[in-house]
Amino acid sequence: MIRNALLFCLCPITFTSVQAEIENEIKLGIEAVTGIRSSYLHRGYDLAGASLEFQLQAEFALSNESSLNFGVWHLAESDGDFSANSAYLELDHQVAEQLWIGGSITYRELDRSSLDSGGDLGTYFRYRPHDDWTISGELHYDFAADGWYADTELEWSQPLSDTAFLAISNGVSFASDYYGDSSFHDVFSRITLTYALSDEIAFTPFVGSSFSLSDSSRDGELYAGFWFEVIF
């Protein structure tokens, strides 16, 4: 989902301040993201070629430290039969100045896929020891796979100007009884370059990769694309 990719890397030049204003003043924010990508990977598995995707998310501020997020997401392969839909509910809580934790429940529907449709329960943390660095991790139980998936990620980010922001992240995942995999699962990376066109609109080209650590039959994957983000 777009959410997984954008959650920790959306440009803080404008979006962090906008979200703070939303939480403090009107308690509700709505974000729409649409994009195109050369291929779609889900937790290291290549599921589709060139695809279009769309996500709509609403964030409701419960307090200065906590927020509730609800979102829906759709992806369709441009020249194939694969499509995916999901809906999620997420609770995010700031426990310290630079530390956030949260939990999520997701239902994912995959059509003409090698993976199964079903629910997912997850928890995560996000820690910023420095303005330029973010350490994050997540743990999920996937009911469709009847197994566990976890990953940890290190991101370096840097403003290039008042309206441009670069983020580079690298991570590693681990699986337990996850579609037959119980080991280190894959290593992945992503580079995003966000241009803030205004306080509410941004454009983000990205490139990424995933290389399996457990299955020699899964080729390494490279992908690219862009997102167009609007906050209402």
Kindly give the confidence (pLDDT) of every residue in the chain, 232 residues in length, as a single tens digit, with 9 standing for 90 and above.
Answer: 765 454 444 444 444 443 444 344 447 799 999 999 999 999 999 999 999 999 999 999 999 999 999 999 999 999 878 999 999 999 999 999 999 999 999 999 999 888 999 999 999 999 999 999 999 999 999 999 999 999 999 999 999 999 999 999 999 999 999 999 999 999 999 999 999 999 899 999 999 999 999 887 777 899 999 999 999 8
Tokens, residue 106 = 């997701």
Q: Which residues pair with 83 in a beta bridge?
A: 76, 111
Distance, CA of 192 to CA of 168 (rounded, Å): 7
Give the pair of three-digit tokens for residue 56.
């709509």
Containing structural domain, residue 67: 2-231
CB 11 within 8 A of CB 17: no
Residue 126 Cα to chain centre, angstroms: 13
Q: Which CATH number fits the domain that encloses residue 54?
A: 2.40.160.40
Name the pTM for this structure. Answer: 0.86
Residue 229's nearest CA partner among 211, 193, 208, 204 is 204
Confidence at residue 94, expressed as pLDDT on a 0 to 100 scale? 97
Count of structural domains within the chain: 1
For the stretch 64-121, pLDDT in tens is 999 999 999 999 999 878 999 999 999 999 999 999 999 999 999 999 888 999 999 9
Burial category of 91 from C-beta neighbours within 10 Å (exposed 0-12, middle 13-18, buried 19 and up):
middle
Query: How confident is the model at residue 13, as a pLDDT?
Result: 43
Is residue 158 within 8 Å of residue 193, measured between CB atoms?
Answer: no
Q: How far, in Å, CA of 35 to CA of 15, rounded? A: 18
Question: Tokens for 48?
Answer: 């589709």
pLDDT at 218: 76
